[in-house]
């Protein structure tokens, strides 16, 4: 049986994950991970990596207070799960569940509620299903596009910026 361990994100993970995600056809740059490390050093988030048998397989970030002005939860003091991913070659082996278990444990130290945004195109399908199975529910504000509610019948693009926000009571 494969062993999953969770550890903090390290600077050297940036190049590894950026390369592995580009191999999957994603548009990932090392800077994304280096920005997370800067936020860790600033004390605003905890960044976690899951290893499967010693190989980095996925990551997630928990911002202590997700008060980003472009979310429906701004200023409410709830932590936000941001940028959760499991490399495709490691999916279906419990990595995502282990990461989310730990992310929710971390978030629970700050609040009884956690939230996240999930993209709506098919590339997010496995995450969408997992969030529903874990008890996340839509916040009711509708679909967000590029940091704002996408008003009914207005144009938007089905890209990574088309998001539905979900929350979960942790206790």
Report residue 70's pLDDT band, with 50, 70 and 90 as the boundaries: confident
Report the chain's mean pLDDT, rounded to a whole number: 94
Residue 67 confidence class, pLDDT cut points 50, 70, 90: low
pTM of the model: 0.92
Mean pLDDT of 60-70: 80
**Average pLDDT, stretch 131-156?**
95
Specify the pLDDT at position 2.
Answer: 82
At residue 33 the predicted structure's pLDDT band, cuts being 50, 70 and 90, is very high
SS3 labels along the chain: CCCEEEEECCCCHHHHHHHHHHHCCCCCCHHHHHHHHHHHHHCCEEEEEEEECCEEEEEEEEECCCCCCCCCCCCCCCCEEEEEEECHHHCCCCHHHHHHHHHHHHHHCCCCEEEEEEECCHHHHHHHHHHHHCCCEEEEEEEEECCEECCCCCCCCCCCCEEEEEEEECC
Residue 75 has a pLDDT of 84
The whole-number pLDDT of residue 87 equals 97
Given this model, what pLDDT does residue 76 score? 87
Which pLDDT belongs to residue 107? 97
What domains are there in the chain, each with its CATH number?
4-169 (3.40.630.30)
- Region 89-113: mean pLDDT is 96
Asked which of 107-111, 123-127, 163-167 is least confident by mean pLDDT, the reply is 123-127
**Whole-number pLDDT of residue 68:** 66
């Amino acid at each position: 049986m494969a062993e999953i361990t969770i550890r903090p994100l390290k600077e050297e993970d940036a190049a590894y994950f950026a390369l592995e995600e580009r191999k999957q056809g994603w548009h990932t740059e090392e800077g994304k991970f280096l920005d997370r490390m800067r936020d860790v050093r600033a004390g605003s988030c905890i960044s976690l990596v899951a290893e499967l048998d010693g190989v980095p397989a996925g990551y997630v970030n928990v911002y202590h207070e997700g008060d980003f002005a472009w979310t429906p939860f701004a200023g409410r003091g709830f932590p936000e799960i941001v940028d959760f991913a499991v490399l495709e070659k490691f999916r279906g082996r419990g990595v995502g569940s282990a990461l989310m278990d730990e992310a929710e444990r971390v978030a629970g130290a700050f609040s009884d509620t956690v939230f996240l945004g999930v993209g709506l195109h098919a590339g997010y399908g496995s995450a969408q299903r997992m969030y529903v199975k874990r008890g996340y529910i839509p916040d009711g504000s509708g679909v967000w596009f590029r940091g704002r509610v996408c008003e009914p019948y207005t144009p938007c693009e089905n890209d990574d910026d088309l998001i539905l926000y979900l929350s979960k009571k942790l206790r």
